[in-house]
Every structure is written in C-alpha cells, then in structure tokens.
Structure 1
Amino acid sequence: MSGLKWLEAEKKLFRDGQTFNPHRLEWIADAEASVSTAVDVSATEALVKLSGTLRKVPVGIIGPREATEAQCALAEKLGAAFARHGLQLVCGGKNGVMEAACKGHAEFGGMPVGILPDEEWQAANPYVAIPIATGIGPARNALIARACVALVAVGGGVGTLSEMALGLQFNRLVLAMHDAPEVKGVDRYDNIDDVLERVALRLFTGK
C-alpha cells in the first residue's frame, strides 16, 4: 500500500498527518490530515486525481533512433499512458523510440518536449510540441538526464546507455523496459501500469 489517502471534497492528498502540495511536490504538516472520509488511493490513482494541479515536472522516455517495431509500439503506448496520467514527457526529440513516445503522448493531449542535439528546432520529429535546439550533439543526453525526475528506457544502445548512467549519477529514478541495456541499479519492468506506479511513487514519496 502507498499510504496515500484522497479527500474528494477538498481535492487533497493526505499521508500520515501531512497534505501534499502538488505545485512544490512536497508534503506539509497538517493537523487535520487524518480525515475519516478520505479514501485509500494508489500512487497512480493519485496522479490522475491531481493531474489538473500537479506541477509538470518532466519524466523521460529514452531509446534508440533505429528502433524495432516492438520498441516503437511500446514507446507509443507508454507516451500515451504518460499523457493520460498528467505526466510531462521529455525526450531527445528525434526518431525511433522518441518519435513513437511523442506520438502517443500528443494523441492523448500531451505536449511532448524534445531536447534536440541539433542547432535548429526544425530537426524535431513531427509530434514534438516544444522543441529545444541545443546545438551540443550527444552532450544533450546530460540535459535530459538532469531535467527529468525519472527516465524510462525502451530498448537502446550506447546513447541510451549514457542517458541511463547519467540518470543514476544524478540520483534520478531509472527504469528499463523491453530490451533496454542491463545496468546495475536499474529495475526492469514488463508492464506499463507497474512503470506508472513506480514513477508516481517517486513523485509522491521521493523513493
């Protein structure tokens, strides 16, 4: 159990005598937080309930440009799930897994951000809503890893491996799906719902 409770009348999330501030992503002491009418919710359910007020901190989907059909299909579903749960997608903005994730995110109302290695924003894939041209080549991987609170790798080679390693170095939550590189300290998931729950727990608990 997540230990999270939701009070529908006040649209507030509670936990152990605290109220969650959805803008600062922090728990604040609240003497009235143990409301008897509050109901237990999972971290994923809390995401949905707070989606209108939760600060749009970035969560990354990373993976190869030269992606397989299976990798793209999974990335598209993952991007769509992010949008449905109010999560802000950040990726490298190019093709393959990145384009598929952006497509899924955009089709469900999201505004995917692409942090590009290129010098001009026009290099972004057609589904990127907010292209950021860095002009720094592969070094932009460090920007993605630093910007995101969590990274989910779908497949990948050396570039994806560098983002995963940088994410760990920056103390980010790094998760792997499908045939992403094996990295010590990175948990592997097969199910998108489990990924969402793990990302939500990071947002709500910092763990």
Structure 2
Amino acid sequence: MTELHDELEAAPVVESRIAYPGVIWDIRSETFTLPEAPRPMRREFTAHTSAVAIAAVDSQDRILLIRQYRHPVLAREWEIPAGLLDQAGESGQPAAARELYEEADLRAAEWSVLADQYTTPGSSSEVLRIFLARGLSAVPRAQQHAREDEELGIEKRWVDLSEAAAAVSAGGILNATCQLAVLHAERARAAGWAGLRPGDAPWPSLEHIRAAGHARLPRG
C-alpha cells in the first residue's frame, strides 16, 4: 500500500452562511482560518450532496458509455451512469444500483469500488465514488424506469475497454469521471479484477464532509 494519502482536516470556521439556496445544491459562504495564513479567509463554494458513478463492464470486457446533453458545457458528452446522493437514508452502493437501473436499464450481481474523487475541490464539496458493476442483467422493458428531461436523449453504447482508453488518451472523452472510470477499469482488468475494495467499503471522505456541515443533505 502506498504511503501517499489525503489528510482529512477541518479548518476553524469563523462564519458560515448559505449565500444562495439552490434547487439541487446550495452556495455556501464561509470565513475560516489556517495556521499558515496571516488573516481569516472567505470562500464561496457549492455545498453538494455528493454522487456515485458506475463503470458497468460486461463479460466481454466492454464498458457501458452513455451520451447525453450537458448544458453548462454545451455538449453531448460521453459519460458513465451516475447520479446524486439525494435520497434520504441511501448509502453509496444502493444509490449506484438505483442509478444503474434508472439510466442504463441494468442490474448487477457484483459490486466493487474503483475509485473515490474530489471532483472540483477548489469550488465544490462534492465527493464521488466510482463503482465497478459486473454480472450484469437487463431490466425487462415493462420494469424499466421512465426517464425525463435530458435523460430522454440518452444514447447507450458498449465499448471495449481498450478502445475507450484510447478515446480518453486521444482527447475524445472529456468527462473526468468517465476518464477515471475507464482508466481504473482497464487497470483492474489487467490485474484480473483482483484487489478491489468491496462495494460496501467505508467512505471516510464523504462522512468527513457531512460531519463538517459542508454537504447539502437530502431534503425529503
């Protein structure tokens, strides 16, 4: 195991308030101190619910990619199934199973953790866990989730892991979570899918952010 690891630390907060209460997330303004800084600092950041993403890999070592429109970047980009932790009482792996069902019409018998990431640590409290889902089966059409809004245009494609990794290296896939999932999945395949954390492994970074009050908790 590597000795490199992020250190979870909560700086002393002088003032904290919600500057803008959003529909999906909030903008929080906080003033805090650090021992190396001569004066308190104020920062605004997105108080996020955090999220999960799923690298669904079939028996032919193909990963499921989905393409949908993302308005902030004005693009139809390739992604993997993903979604917010916005359901009360829902933990990481069950949320991933729900998103896989809703966005990809799939269920999985085997779950592992591929990677954890801070998506944009300079401006958001979001932490995201990428799961590896294997042992896949299709959801019968009569039981499939009724998608809406941007998800109505979802295009699904099964792509060999090597081809997906080549697209990442060539700059064809810009979504960071998709890039990370593809590269981690290709590495895991090379290792015979061994050594991965179980799907229900602890998630200390998420618990730390929630305990500090930096996460927007599910409402309802």
State the TM-score, normalizing by the size of structure 1.
0.30
Greater strand share, structure number = 2
Which has the higher Rg, Structure 1 or Structure 2?
2
Q: Please state which structure has a larger fraction of its residues in helix.
A: 1
- Bigger RCO (CA 8 Å, 6+ sep): 2
